[in-house]
Structure 1
Amino acid sequence: MLLTILGGCGAWPGAGQACSGYLVEHDGFRLLVDPGYATVPRLLERVTADRVDAVFVTHGHPDHCADLNPLLRARAWSDDPPAPLPVYAPPGALDAVLALDRPGMLTDAHVLREFTAGDRLDIGPFRARTRLLPHSVPNAGVRLTAGGRTLAYTGDSGPSPEVVELARGADLLLAEATYVDRVPESSRRSLSSALQAGRQAREADVPHLLLTHLQPGTDATAALAAAGTEHDGEIGIAAPGLAVDLS
């Protein structure tokens, strides 16, 4: 299983950056997870739009799904349009982004497969276990397993025992870490810090932690240090272009 980071900014893309977006590959199958703002140009540096096999969206905030629109446009307006793209998302999460174009324009470019957080899915070679994690809108964390390896991804989430259960024993945890160590009172149920991500990775016995969704301007070095006070395994930042081979 190969994970490639397309972007890892939270809320909006910083200069030269992109929001949440992750390409997960196994046995030639390409799964795009959370196509947030500015991720499609980075995706297209690696593969053409028709080579994406499926999309998984954790929740409906635009920094996690806005670039589904240009991806579908690229497929729909191709000289030889590919088969409809399977798109997995919680109910209603993609209503806004799918309404950006005139009715029917992108209908043949995708097939929407809505699921409820807690469902188990088969997406190509991936076995996907989803879990409802706390956020301001319904957010489905996901555990992807293929080839004997497991990647757990929180989407956006406040700290919760559910995150630990999602990640328990995984090879890698890709974890929300908007802040370094202190989360504002107004966001404590819906967003996390690097410190909390480190603690949850330790509790889940995950050897490799990648911090993602850092708000633009957040000190990455400070975030790594904060996570390291709780977790003594490998820790990194989900920086664009980073590729991690879980095998």
Structure 2
Amino acid sequence: MKLTVIGCWGGYPNKNEASSGYLLEHNGFNVLIDCGSGVLSKLQNFIQPEELDALLLSHYHPDHNADIGVLYHARLIKGFLGTKPPELPIYGHNLDQREFAKLTYKNITRGIAYNPDQPLEVGPFKVTFLRTVHPVPCFAMRIEVEGRVLVYTADTAYKDELVSFGKDADLLVCECNFYGNQSGKGAGHMNSFDAGHFAQAASVKQLVLTHLPHYGQLNQLVEEAIQKYSGPTQLAKEGLTITL
């Protein structure tokens, strides 16, 4: 299982970069996790839009789904150019029916509602979900294949249930939208101490901080997280690749 960070910014993309988007590959199957602003442009540095086999969404805030519309058109235009890709399944929750309905576009994409209370099979991946603490319905994901485990928090304030959900993961991709002296609870986000505590309590093997703030010295997030977590820790950045 190989993870490539396409975008890692919270709220909106930094200059010439992208907000949330992560490419997960295994045995030739390509899943994009979230599709925020700027992701389609940056994705093409790694694979082409028609090479995606599935898209998996945590929630419907624009920094996680803004580029779905241009993804429709990329695959549509590829069809006009003679390389028509198959219908792309887009997995999302249906707790917001208006947003879920937008996932189906002609015969280009098809929205598929996942049941957050049941495992989901996406190609070779088994995905389980945990509802997060966020202003809109949002789900963290535990993704497993061939004995390896990746946990992606999506957007959430800290809650104790995260620890058992993330237990012994090979990789924790954890949101970190605030510095340690700040509280993100009201906005539905974690700070650096929350992320480090979560990683340590869950005994994960490595930690990547993502959904980054647009201010301050970002390395401070790592310095604060490792006060709570003793394992390898780094910031997400475009092009960061981790193979499990």
Q: What is the TM-score when the length of structure 1 is the normalising length?
A: 0.92
> Aligned pair 1:90/2:93, yes or no?
yes
What amino acid does structure 2 have at the position aligned with 1:27?
Answer: N
> Aligned pair 1:143/2:160, yes or no?
no
In 1, Cα distance between equivalents of 2:96 and 2:85: 24
| Alpha-carbon offset, residue 72 of structure 1 | 1.5
* Matching residue of 1:212: 210
Q: What is the TM-score when the length of structure 2 is the normalising length?
A: 0.93
In 1, Cα distance between equivalents of 2:242 and 2:36: 20
Deviations 1:144-166 (A, max 9, x none): 11122110001000001122122
In 2, Cα distance between equivalents of 1:161 and 1:184: 16
In 2, Cα distance between equivalents of 1:136 and 1:181: 21
Q: Contact 2:95 / 2:137 at 8 angstroms: preserved in 1?
A: no
Unaligned runs of 5+ in 2: none
Q: CA RMSD in A?
A: 1.8
Q: Contact 1:171 / 1:206 at 8 angstroms: preserved in 2?
A: yes
| Alpha-carbon offset, residue 236 of structure 1 | 0.7
| Alpha-carbon offset, residue 92 of structure 1 | 5.0
Identity of paired residues, percent?
Answer: 30
Q: Contact 1:8 / 1:21 at 8 angstroms: preserved in 2?
A: yes
In 2, Cα distance between equivalents of 1:25 and 1:36: 19
Q: How does 1:219-234 map to 2 (within 5 A)?
A: 219-234=217-232
Q: Please identify runs of 4+ aligned residues in structure 1 that moved more than 2 A.
A: 92-100, 116-119, 182-185
Q: How does 1:117-128 map to 2 (within 5 A)?
A: 117-128=116-127
What amino acid does structure 2 have at the position aligned with 1:67?
Answer: D
In 2, Cα distance between equivalents of 1:135 and 1:218: 23
In 2, Cα distance between equivalents of 1:150 and 1:123: 14
Q: How does 1:1-247 map to 2 (within 5 A)?
A: 1-78=1-78, 79=81, 80-91=83-94, 93=96, 95-96=98-99, 106-184=105-183, 187-188=185-186, 190-246=188-244
Q: Contact 1:55 / 1:87 at 8 angstroms: preserved in 2?
A: yes
- The aligned length equals 241
